[in-house]
Amino acid sequence: MKKRPQSKKRRAVPVPIASMGDIAFLLIIFFMVCSEVSKDKKMQVVLPLSEHVKKMQAVVVARIAVDENGEIFFDGTRVDNAKDVEWGVRALLTSTISDDQRHVQFKCDSSLPKETFEPVIKAIAAAGGIIEAVGEKQP
Amino acid sequence: MSRKRYSKEKKHRTGEIPTGSFSDIAFLLIIYFLVATTLVKVKSIAADLPSGEKASQSQSDKTPIVNLRGIEIFFNDKKVSVELLNERLEALELGEKEPAKRVIMLESTNGTPYDNYFQALAAISAHQGVVAIVEED
């Protein structure tokens, strides 16, 4: 009869799992801090197409959207007119130091006429914002 | 007698909070966040529009002007397509000029769709032009 060599015996190595909960909760906190909740999901906006659009790198101070019905939204909240946008952006930009902090995201439905969207663009410009006009890449 | 019973109830019990399932709960929450999160990176064009009052005298006649009339685009009063507009703007070599000479006037008539406006805005910005919106009288 052949005997098994003793070195082949398996040892039970305990995996330390005591800190698993801590690691997991740290990950949750990380995700919660880094996440940004989308505020304009419900809006119906068909974005315009262009070959010049690039992935937005700038951090925006405000998000302005004009939906297909011409309703204006400031950070997801409906506002009455372009003047409200101007005051809102102006208020946000009072403490800005550099140009990097002046970017304002502008989303507008591609079918809207000039009378509807241009006052909003002018309002952002008048408040000192750099417009980041959102569009889709033309295939 | 009743006092004695009360003092007995006050005794602290030695009980431990079960923490064994904490990591399972935490990982479930992580999985939830990962599944429910949509990572959106929007694409855009940046346009720094200068704001100011209308000057009493009009700007130099040489300042290029883009007119948007409905779905039609005119560059210095000549009808162009989006591709031709890009070519004309590229020929101006705005990137090599000083900021004051990079100005491109943008005029539009009522009813011009945003789609067309965006095309013009994107073309000007892509060629390092500074957009100046022309106000109607």
- Domain CATH for B112: 3.30.420
Query: What is the total count of domains within chain A?
Result: 1
Nearest to B30 among A24, A51, A137 (CB): A24
Within-domain flag for A39:
no
ipTM: 0.73
pLDDT of residue A82: 92
Within-domain flag for B121:
yes
Q: Mean pLDDT throughout B41-58?
A: 69
Within-domain flag for A3:
no
Within-domain flag for B21:
no
CA distance B107 to A138: 24
Nearest CA in chain B to A27: B30
Could A133 and B118 be called an inter-chain contact, meaning their C-beta atoms sit closer than 8 Å?
yes
pLDDT of residue B49: 78
State the residue range of the domain holding A56: 49-137
Within-domain flag for B95:
yes
Amino acid at B90: E
Within-domain flag for A61:
yes
Within-domain flag for B118:
yes
Q: Mean pLDDT throughout B113-119?
A: 91
Within-domain flag for B96:
yes
| Mean model confidence pLDDT for chain B | 79
State the residue range of the domain holding B91: 65-133
Within-domain flag for B112:
yes
CB atoms within 10 A of CB B64: 17
Nearest to B41 among A56, A130, A131 (CB): A56
Within-domain flag for A2:
no
Could A111 and B114 be called an inter-chain contact, meaning their C-beta atoms sit closer than 8 Å?
yes
- pLDDT band of residue B1 (cuts 50, 70, 90) is very low
Within-domain flag for A117:
yes
Summarize pLDDT for B51-99 with one digit per residue, the tens: 665 555 555 557 888 999 888 999 988 899 888 998 988 888 888 888 7
Within-domain flag for B43:
no
pLDDT of residue B61: 57
Could B114 and A109 be called an inter-chain contact, meaning their C-beta atoms sit closer than 8 Å?
yes
| B22-36 vs A20-34: helix crossing angle, rounded to 10 | 30
Low-confidence ranges of chain A (pLDDT < 70): 1-8, 38-41
Query: What is the total count of domains within chain B?
Result: 1
pLDDT of residue A8: 62
Q: Which tops the pLDDT comparison, B137 or A35?
A: A35
Amino acid at A58: A
Within-domain flag for B77:
yes
